[in-house]
Amino acid sequence: MKKYCQLLLFSIFVSCNGGGDVLPQDTYIKFYGFNGTYELTDIVESFDGSGFAMVGNRTVHSDDAGGDDTNPYIFLINQEGDNLNEIEYEIVHQSDDFLEEDGSFTPKYQVENISRITAIDGGYLVVGTSEYPILNTELEEVTVNLIIYAQLDNTLSLVGGINTLGDSVNNYVGIDIAETLDGGVLVAGYTDELGTNDFYYAKIGGTNTEWTRVQERPNSNDQLIRALPTSSGEFAIFGRTEAFSRDGEGGVNVESTIISQEGIIGNSLIYGLTSASGDRDIDDYPFDVIEKPGGFAIIGYSDLGSGDHKPFLMNVDLIGAAPNEILYDTDFDNANLEGRGFSITQTLSNDFIIVGELIDYTANRGDKNEKDRNNELMVMRTNQGGEQIGLVKNFGVENGDDVAIRAFTTVDGSILVGGTYDFGGGESRFALLKMNVNGELKQ
């Protein structure tokens, strides 16, 4: 485990489409990192509300024979956006395949990534995926993927080490982690042990029985995105499926399943949009979900064909009723822009804040043929019914591909948005935007 205490932290003026009231002085945009490519995957408020943990992955680019080195990286941030601590976790798998004749071990540094962080009393839970080197039957070095998960204390120190799930034959990918009612954890992801991307669940620790479940999938492109603890004490599993794909005519749909604390898997429900003519399914790619009164709100983007992407919002109740599905037009400045929704949060007034990216945005439209076209971080607001309020806002730095990955509402009602900002030349940074209750950032 390494600690890196250098930090690039500054505020900039950002482009913004949309207006608002006078903004509070504690809204800000700040960046974190010092060298290499930082890609944010998640952000969460601490259990006591004192700050935030930003998690992702850092790649240091190298011309050496060993190539690039990618490791999990976490920042601990207070409410003012100040960096309190940062830790890079370097994982070494000690496989017996790589023991030297004298019994010493040759370290194998592989690529790891963290996909999700959850706040618990006393610290955090994290989950991700790590490559594991082995020798095949021809004594050639190959890798399989293992799920990695760990508990951290409030200072980001490991509690009990880094744990793995999987075996030396099949691939396992860690997507989400949650605390169970008996003090254990639920780890969710997928595996190819049955030949496709089957959903994988493991309940570990706690006072009740541990269990593992594999939910067989009909298609190798199915993916799990969330395992969300519900107010009723169950887990709502959300993912995407091609179970009803119609030979290239579309058919990527949203799927939900309920799993009990004891590992009983309920029936799955499928949701999807249909084209205006009704002659084909639209490909719907979900990315995030939150529980709301009476059900869940799912955010993602739809591929309408010919490379046209638009954010969607689905309100579902998980009992089979037809969902309320809305596609959003992200065009402005008389330009046809594409958009993708990656995360959603509900404000204290029960509106939704949707974040993601605008694709091929150019700040100066009159000069669009002379400027690079880049992706910009997107923020939009809707009411409870999904009706858009105000304009789509965009934030970004010039000539970089910037994206919002996660949004949530703090205890005091502020909106926190975490993302990645691209500064070019292989350099990118974690970004933290703290907005007011309307999703507005001071300019």
pLDDT digits (tens, 9 = 90+) for 76-112: 999 999 999 999 887 655 555 555 556 555 555 456 7
Question: Residue 166 burial by CB count (10 A; 0-12/13-18/19+): exposed, middle or buried?
Answer: buried
Are residues 419 and 433 in contact, defined by beta-carbon separation less than 8 angstroms?
Answer: yes
Alpha-carbon distances, residue 146 vs 60, 143, 161 (angstroms)? 22, 10, 15
Q: Which of 234, 235, 232, 210 is nearest to 224 (CA)?
A: 235
Gap between the terminal Cα atoms of the chain? 39
What is d(CA 12, CA 28) in angstroms, rounded to the nearest whole number?
9
Number of structural domains the chain divides into: 1
| Range(s) of the domain holding residue 350 | 7-34+330-436
Q: Is residue 369 part of a domain?
A: yes
Report the pLDDT value the prediction gives residue 431, as an integer from 0 to 100. 93
Q: Is residue 72 part of a domain?
A: no
Residue 18 has pLDDT above 50, yes or no: no
Report the pLDDT value the prediction gives residue 7, as an integer from 0 to 100. 31
Are residues 24 and 442 in contact, defined by beta-carbon separation less than 8 angstroms?
Answer: yes
Q: Which residue has the higher pLDDT, 293 or 391?
A: 293
The pair phi, psi for residue 210, each rounded to 5°, is -80, 155
Q: Is residue 388 part of a domain?
A: yes
Are residues 257 and 270 in contact, defined by beta-carbon separation less than 8 angstroms?
Answer: no
Q: What are the pLDDT digits (tens) for 125-139?
A: 999 998 877 776 666
The pair phi, psi for residue 97, each rounded to 5°, is -65, -20
Residue 167 has pLDDT above 50, yes or no: yes
Structure tokens given for 388: 């858009």
What is d(CA 256, CA 246) in angstroms, rounded to the nearest whole number?
20
C-beta neighbour count of 276 within 10 angstroms: 8
Question: pTM of the prediction?
Answer: 0.84
Q: What are the pLDDT digits (tens) for 186-229?
A: 999 999 888 778 999 999 999 999 999 999 887 777 899 999 99
Q: Which of 154, 149, 131 is nearest to 141 (CA)?
A: 131
Q: Is residue 392 part of a domain?
A: yes
